[in-house]
């Protein structure tokens, strides 16, 4: 089969590799669509993970084979797969901090080359038994109805991560929320925040991205090249936003986000997945009672709600996420896709591979 193989820092090549073999309780999925996530790009460009391996985890496709003992799934079923599922019983699971569970940190889907890393940048993936589940208790392999396109289903995992962040914020209808960055994740965060009744301000440097955001009812655009802090205060009688969601991985924007919120407000970091250091005013946290918080990865506690959002959102047209896809690439052009995703342009949004 064809796969986009990570070989070394900044190097991904399309190669022919064996189709992964499956064991008892496992399934083989033929990938239709896999989105390129910012975390994939960071791993490719930082060298944080050993090579070779095949990344990609925002994926959906059709079951091509099932292992002995698999229940609830059969060949030909349309599915998407979460690549992480927690144990459900450890300290962190009991505290509902699922992303810190040791089993959650294990990747349960793979293209079979090197360590498991998702595998969606390939024609086939092996889905391991704890992701498949027992056919009764929901796990990480999800049936996709016939009326839902694979391109929509591939958003189930990123929607869950965004929905988790919005749930943690417990937004109220009289809140004003600033979402910084209007790539596909920023638009998802903003659209879900808007569903709570809150007023949502969006900032980005590209008018083209604001135009896409407007298709999701986001009608308070701010030019990120201007004074976003002043604009937030002007929109809130001088107070500042109640919440700022930072949907880009720029540590330099943390201070801007802190300046844009009111006393007692909150800044949520959503894309700060690389360790480092960032400057902020500690008195803003202490004296102004501002909160700096984060949200990472998906939550099984809201898994079905997130799935329903994706399916019903497509059926109603209110959350048709296929509109976020700007570029589709075949596997042989994976290097071009990753290059574009790594250097976003005004007209680039979600970039997907179509194995």
pLDDT of 181-214, one tens digit each? Answer: 999 999 999 999 999 999 999 999 999 999 999 9
Residues of the chain with CATH 3.90.180.10: 2-154+320-353
pLDDT band for 113, please (50, 70, 90 cuts).
Answer: very high
**What pLDDT does 345 receive?**
93
CA distance 8 to 252: 28
Torsion of CA 182, 185, 190, 191, to 10 degrees: 120
**What pLDDT does 138 receive?**
81
12 forms bridges with which residues in the sheet? 6
Residue 137 pLDDT > 90: no
User: What is this structure's pTM?
Assistant: 0.96
pLDDT band for 68, please (50, 70, 90 cuts).
Answer: very high
Residues of the chain with CATH 3.40.50.720: 160-294
Share the mean pLDDT of the chain. Answer: 97
* CATH number given to 160-294: 3.40.50.720
The arrangement of secondary structure in 2-154+320-353, i.e. its CATH architecture, is Alpha-Beta Complex (3.90)
**What pLDDT does 136 receive?**
80
Long-range contacts of residues 259-265, Cβ cutoff 8 Å, at least 24 apart: 259/229, 260/178, 260/228, 260/229, 260/232, 260/233, 261/178, 261/232, 261/290, 262/236, 263/239, 263/288, 263/289, 263/290, 264/288, 264/289, 264/290, 265/240, 265/241, 265/290, 265/291
Judge if the upstream peptide bond of residue 52 is cis by omega within 30 degrees of 0.
yes
Residue with tokens 């889907």: 109
Judged by average pLDDT, the poorest of 50-59, 94-103, 133-142, 184-193 is: 133-142
């Amino acid at each position: 089969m064809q796969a986009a193989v990570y070989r070394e820092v900044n190097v991904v090549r399309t190669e022919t590799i064996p189709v992964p073999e499956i064991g008892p309780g496992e399934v083989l999925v033929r990938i239709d669509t896999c989105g390129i996530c910012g975390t994939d790009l960071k791993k490719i460009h930082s060298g944080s993970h050993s090579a070779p391996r095949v990344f990609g985890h925002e994926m959906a496709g059709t079951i091509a084979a099932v292992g002995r003992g698999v229940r609830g799934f059969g060949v030909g079923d349309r599915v998407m797969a979460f690549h992480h599922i927690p144990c459900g019983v450890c300290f962190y699971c009991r505290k509902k901090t699922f992303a810190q569970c040791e089993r959650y940190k294990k990747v349960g889907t793979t293209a079979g080359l090197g360590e498991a890393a998702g595998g969606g940048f390939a024609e086939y993936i092996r889905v391991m038994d704890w992701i498949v589940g027992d056919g009764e208790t929901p796990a990480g392999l999800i049936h996709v109805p016939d009326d839902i396109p694979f391109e929509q289903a591939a958003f189930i995992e990123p929607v869950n991560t965004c929905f988790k962040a919005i749930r943690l914020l417990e937004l109220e209808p009289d809140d004003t929320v600033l979402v910084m960055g209007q790539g596909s994740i920023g638009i998802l965060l903003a659209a879900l925040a808007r569903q709570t009744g809150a007023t949502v301000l969006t900032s980005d440097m590209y008018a083209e991205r604001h135009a896409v955001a407007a298709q999701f009812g986001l009608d308070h655009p701010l030019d990120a090249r201007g004074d976003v802090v002043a604009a937030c205060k002007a929109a809130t009688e001088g107070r500042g936003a109640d919440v700022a969601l930072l949907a880009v991985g720029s540590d330099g924007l943390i201070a801007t986000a802190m300046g844009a919120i009111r006393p007692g407000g909150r800044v949520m970091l959503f894309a700060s997945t690389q360790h480092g250091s960032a400057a902020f005013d500690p008195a803003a946290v202490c004296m102004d009672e501002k909160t700096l918080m984060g949200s990472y990865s998906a939550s099984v506690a809201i898994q079905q709600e997130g799935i329903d959002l994706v399916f019903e959102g497509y059926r109603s047209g209110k959350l048709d996420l296929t509109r976020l896809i700007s570029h589709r690439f075949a596997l042989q052009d994976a290097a071009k896709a990753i290059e574009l995703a790594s250097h976003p342009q005004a007209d680039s949004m979600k970039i997907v591979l179509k194995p």
